[in-house]
């Protein structure tokens, strides 16, 4: 009986310690605020370049995607409508095609779907590496006007939640 009580006490102490560490972890995560978006350069379909610094002053959705990704293709109309809804309020979108995506497929997709925002080719994979070594598409980042990543979505975002976040960030100007 004493042995069981000792085990129970150890489990209780371990549980308290784990809760304290988890609480500290949550505090550090929330307390540290947003992280700065990585400094990177993007080559757009028209041959021009855009950098992370160019995002300053706007709320920007950065979407890493591929034409071979069914979820990416399925979410693109929502990304387009989100862009159209907020573009006149200080919101921008950058769709970054993964390095394994053939450039001709990306160009065809962007033209046939009449994507109204900037589309970049990450031919070398440097942008995906800089933004967290992205391997899963779609991966989407929301960057605030100060150039900080405030939200990351792996997979399709909940667009109602995304719109609320965008509206909140646009009001922070």
Same domain, 26 and 54: no
Same domain, 110 and 149: yes
For residue 80, give the CATH number of its domain: 3.40.30.10
Give the tens place of pLDDT for each residue, 105-144: 999 999 999 999 999 999 999 999 999 999 999 999 999 9
The whole model's pTM is what? Answer: 0.80
Burial class (CB in 10 A: 0-12, 13-18, 19+), 13: exposed
The strand pair at 59-65 and 91-97 is best described as parallel
- Give the count of domains, the chain: 2
pLDDT on residue 12: 40
Give the tens place of pLDDT for each residue, 17-64: 333 333 333 222 333 457 999 999 999 999 999 999 999 999 999 999
Q: Which residue has the higher pLDDT, 13 or 114?
A: 114
Same domain, 73 and 8: no
Same domain, 106 and 149: yes
pLDDT on residue 157: 96
Q: Which domain holds residue 6?
A: 1-32
- Measured CA to CA, the distance from residue 59 to residue 73 in angstroms comes to 23
Same domain, 39 and 28: no
pLDDT on residue 3: 52
pLDDT on residue 173: 65
């Amino acid at each position: 009986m004493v042995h069981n009580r000792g085990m129970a006490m150890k489990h209780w102490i371990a549980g308290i310690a784990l809760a304290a560490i988890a609480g500290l972890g949550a505090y550090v995560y929330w307390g540290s605020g947003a992280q700065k978006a990585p400094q990177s350069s993007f080559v757009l379909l028209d041959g021009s370049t855009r950098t992370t610094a160019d995002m300053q002053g706007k709320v920007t959705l950065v979407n890493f995607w591929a034409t071979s990704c069914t979820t990416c293709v399925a979410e693109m109309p929502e990304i387009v409508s989100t862009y159209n809804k907020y573009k006149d309020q200080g919101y921008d979108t950058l769709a970054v095609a993964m390095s394994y995506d053939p450039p001709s497929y990306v160009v065809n997709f962007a033209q046939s779907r009449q994507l109204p925002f900037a589309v970049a080719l990450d031919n070398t994979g440097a942008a995906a590496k800089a933004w967290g070594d992205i391997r899963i598409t779609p991966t989407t980042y929301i960057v605030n006007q100060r150039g900080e990543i405030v939200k990351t979505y792996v997979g399709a975002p909940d667009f109602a939640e995304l719109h609320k976040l965008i509206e909140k960030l646009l009001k922070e100007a």
